[in-house]
Amino acid sequence: MQNFLKQSDQNPVALETIFEALGTTNRILVSAYRERIAAGEALKRAEERVRALHERLSVFQPESELSLLNASAGCSSVPVGKDAFLLLRESKRFSALSEKAFSITTRALSALWEIHARCGTVPSRAEVEHTLSLVNDEDIMLDEEAQTAELRIFGQSVDLGAIAKGYAADEVRRILIEGGITGALINLGGTVSVIGESKHVGIQHPDRTTGIPMGHVSICDACAVTSGDYERYYEVDGTRYHHIVDPRTGYPSRSGLRSVTLIGESALALDALSTAVFVLGAEKGLPLIQQAGLEAVFVTDQLDVFCTDGLRGNFELL
Ligand code: ADP
Ligand code: MG
């Protein structure tokens, strides 16, 4: 993917950057600002911030803080920077809030499923059960004063895949606003944050090519985050195995949902809760959504689509 900061073809005042980081394609389109040079600089800073978060937080970067934490599991604590500390603390909070449906210690399970996905096989129940014993976010021990983290048990590991893009989107938003930007569409691999004017956010059809929506919701000065079973999956004997694991069973979650999209102010909270609600299902997830003051669009196994009351008038089925 090319990396560029350029004038948009459609809108001559717009600025745009598209780049790869956090395991996805990120696009930031700035459409309104107080001053062009300051806006361009803010956009560059925002991109650099996302790249830096990738370096520090990705478990696929062998030298990242998270990789060092994983490598020291059951042995010792490791120093972590502000971003990692905040995300580990928030992850523990969302895990407790969701009765563990959200658990970043699912990394060991994700790794097991990734190996089998490459081979086109399914892990045995014994493999799943053994690995499941390593999943518990209460085993992430944080020392606020020393700014260190430790995983209690040898073999445990964490990944921030379900929350990092949300945090990154909030950081991009903050940097752009500080730079005098008054209109922007931030899209970090489907984690969307809108500054200013109302924008349509598509609800992806789970069985159609990426970019073909089932409907859309209009959001203004807000964020929208989706968790779904169609982003990464493989099939064995007609069964779909996707990338969101139910920490209670060790298997890809089957809660009756194909996707859930949450709308609210903090992309970090939306990211964590969309994963949690996807695992919990609509019925058990709804109280969490209401408690957090969010709106939601659900797509079910039967491809029924329904939304929370606050979205009536903003959501359009196509
Ligand atoms: P995406 O990143 O594809 O938009 P999510 O935000 O739902 O979707 O995050 C999914 C990623 O989070 C997985 O790829 C995996 O790394 C990790 N993960 C999988 N299951 C869970 C879970 N139950 N709780 C926390 N993280 C999870
Ligand atoms: Mg998420």
What global pTM score does this model have? 0.95
d(CA 202, CA 200): 6
CATH classification code of 65-160: 1.10.3980.10
Q: How far is CA 177 from CA 6, 190, 200, 201, in A?
A: 19, 20, 21, 21
Q: Does the Cβ of 190 fall within 6 Å of ligand 1? A: yes
Residues of the chain with CATH 3.10.520.10: 2-55+163-317
CA 230–ligand 2 middle distance (angstroms): 14
Atom of ligand 1 nearest to the CA of 274: 7
CA distance 10 to 129: 53
Q: How far does residue 313's CA lie from ligand 1's centre (Å)?
A: 30
Residues of the chain within CATH 1.10.3980.10 domain(s) are 65-160
Please tell me if the CB atom of residue 229 comes closer than 6 angstroms to any atom of ligand 1. no
Tens-binned pLDDT, residue by residue, of the chain (318 aa): 233 344 455 667 899 999 999 999 999 999 999 999 999 999 999 999 999 999 999 999 999 999 999 999 999 999 999 999 999 999 999 999 999 999 999 999 999 999 999 999 999 999 999 999 999 999 999 999 999 999 999 999 999 999 999 999 999 999 999 999 999 999 999 999 999 989 999 999 999 877 788 999 999 999 999 999 988 899 999 899 999 999 999 999 999 999 999 999 999 999 999 999 999 999 999 999 999 999 999 999 999 999 999 998 889 998
Q: Give the ligand at the shortest distance from the Cα of 109.
A: 1
Superfamily (CATH) of domain 2-55+163-317: ApbE-like domains (3.10.520.10)
List all residues 6 or more positions away from 209 whose beta carbon is below 8 Å from its beta carbon: none
Q: What's phi and psi for 238, nearest 5 deg?
A: 80, 0
Q: Is 204 in the pocket of ligand 1 (CB under 6 A)?
A: no
